[in-house]
Chains A and B, each alone.
Chain A
């Protein structure tokens, strides 16, 4: 060992430990740190982004391309000009892309538990509430990036919204991302097996997607289906997205925002609560 190395032991003497920052500073720092980790991992696995790009393309070009000649124009219930099926479908698929990615962001917390990394986070001096918020933000970021890749295909679908509408679409993607990541984390908080999580999530994710009106207009549904659609939080997210991008919508902006926002608050509160009570 060199002299230089010997000298530096003073760096790690307990007396060099800074005093503990106040609760708020620690938690905000922790949230940022957890988010940053997810972003680094996302960037490192960017090939995965390309992989999950394929599925939405199948829906847009094969399902959309196949049905579009037979369906003719689909009109909005309130406002908006009639659109070809593919153009109608596009906002729904942007929503789907965010939904799917966000759902599986919740598995990250189960993975962290499986590989032991969660313990490293849990013994750090920050609250569990901060841990949950950090994970939700990380997962939401991931899903919004994924959704943006689809959104970038906009010019192919006769959609030329102005800047304000695109900004609106981003806000909606963030909202959907946060909501669905919270759902994933709520399920993942107590789970110890990522396989179990995947199975459960697959049960949930398809009904959420099919009922959301991503694939069809909501205005002439049989009453049981209409009711089921209204119970699906994703419905309001897709409605907002379609509203922002095409002008077609079935609910008012206020209804959409209040329902989705309220759902997000309830779910994230439950996740935090459950995580705080877990040993």
Chain B
């Protein structure tokens, strides 16, 4: 469904050049749920811009449904439903008018437009509010309306660019329930960008993207397995000495050592050691004050491949970061 080959996008800025996307290649199969996981400014939104022909690649090629995006922008756009990172509804129009506008722009004939809008609004629980101005909607309702709108022209590929950004946890869960329902019923290809690890966890494959490059690409399970079966979280007296000891003895985990709250250090079980974690702990020449073990999650994977936490990007959340 998506074939991207060696995509590069360089922006000219006042001070010179900025490489937003630096040689990205990936293929997404029909019906696959594919995620881009990375911090703000990693190049996620720029890649989407090239997929929908809003931006032209500096070099490289991207095909959607076997159509070259640069050569057939309109044919490609008709196959795509997109939910943008930032709201993109006309809040002076009613929900229904927004859907009508969209359906007309995509050339959907009146009766089909009407039936689909009515049905999708009912599924998303918006029927009651259909003739209300969008400005009276909550953030979660707006997102749901945008999902409805993205589906009105029956796209083959649904692009979700940070679909739950700025929503409270309840609305996030709610929006995801609806997205999963749609996926189950329609079985369309979904391309998601996110910096929430738990959202990427549900996808078939994840590409971890950092500074314009894909640094890892596999199923979430395999990515997690690549770290080994366990992550150790320890508290020791002399943290720095302990860290140095780990770096010296176990170079394989250099990138993955991480400081957690409360002065804890976490790292995957070194692959140089074959015995059980408990034996490994007992062999350490340091007194251990606290220890716990958990399965690796995508956060660990992300740190392993990029050397930084996703949280770093989440903190300074300037929404214009990766436009």
Contact = CB atoms under 8 A, between A and B. Distances in A.
A117 B88 contact: yes
B130 interface: no
Given A9-B185, A26-B107, A116-B87, A123 B153 contact: no
Given A30-B105, A125-B78, A41 B93 contact: yes
B2 to A, nearest CB: 15
A9 to B, nearest CB: 4
A80 B153 CA distance: 58
Contacts of A220: none
Nearest to B323: A279
B52 A123 contact: yes
Nearest to A9: B185
Nearest to B85: A116
24 contacts: A6-B185, A11-B115, A12-B151, A12-B154, A17-B79, A17-B153, A20-B74, A20-B75, A37-B90, A37-B93, A37-B97, A41-B90, A116-B86, A119-B54, A120-B84, A120-B88, A123-B52, A123-B53, A123-B54, A123-B80, A124-B102, A125-B105, A125-B106, A126-B74
Contacts of A122: 54
Interface in B225-247: none
Given A17-B156, A37-B101, A125-B73, 11 more contacts: A5-B122, A13-B186, A14-B186, A18-B107, A18-B109, A20-B78, A44-B93, A115-B88, A119-B84, A120-B102, A279-B54
A262 to B, nearest CB: 32
Nearest to B158: A14
B108 interface: yes
Nearest to B74: A125
A1 B122 CA distance: 9
Given A12-B151, A14-B154, A124 B105 contact: yes
Nearest to A126: B105
Contact of A17 (B54, B74, B78): B78
Nearest to A30: B105
B1 to A, nearest CB: 10
B167 interface: no
Interface string A102-115: 00000000001001
A257 B222 CA distance: 71
B119 interface: yes
Contact of A29 (B55, B104, B156): B104
A156 to B, nearest CB: 34
B161 to A, nearest CB: 10
Contacts of B265: none
A11 B56 CA distance: 33
A30 B106 CA distance: 8
A223 interface: no
Q: Which 9 A-B pairs have the closest CB atoms?
A: A125-B74, A124-B105, A116-B88, A33-B104, A14-B156, A9-B185, A17-B154, A8-B119, A125-B77
Nearest to B118: A8
A278 to B, nearest CB: 10
Contacts of B256: none
Interface of B: 52-56, 73-75, 77-80, 82, 84, 86-93, 97, 101-102, 104-109, 112, 115-116, 119-120, 122-123, 149, 151-156, 185-186, 188
Contact of A123 (B82, B89, B107, B123): B82
Nearest to B116: A11
Contacts of B87: 115-116
Contacts of B188: 14
Nearest to A112: B90
A21 interface: yes
Interface string A2-32: 0001101101111111101101011001101
A73 interface: no
A191 interface: no
A26 to B, nearest CB: 6
Interface in A98-145: 112, 115-117, 119-127
A116 B151 CA distance: 19
A125 B93 CA distance: 21
A41 B92 contact: yes
B185 to A, nearest CB: 4
A117 to B, nearest CB: 5
B270 to A, nearest CB: 47
A11 B121 CA distance: 13
A14 B155 contact: yes
A16 B78 contact: no
Q: In the complex, which of the residues B77, B84, B105, B123 has the most CB atoms of chain A within 10 Å of its own CB atom? A: B105
A40 interface: yes
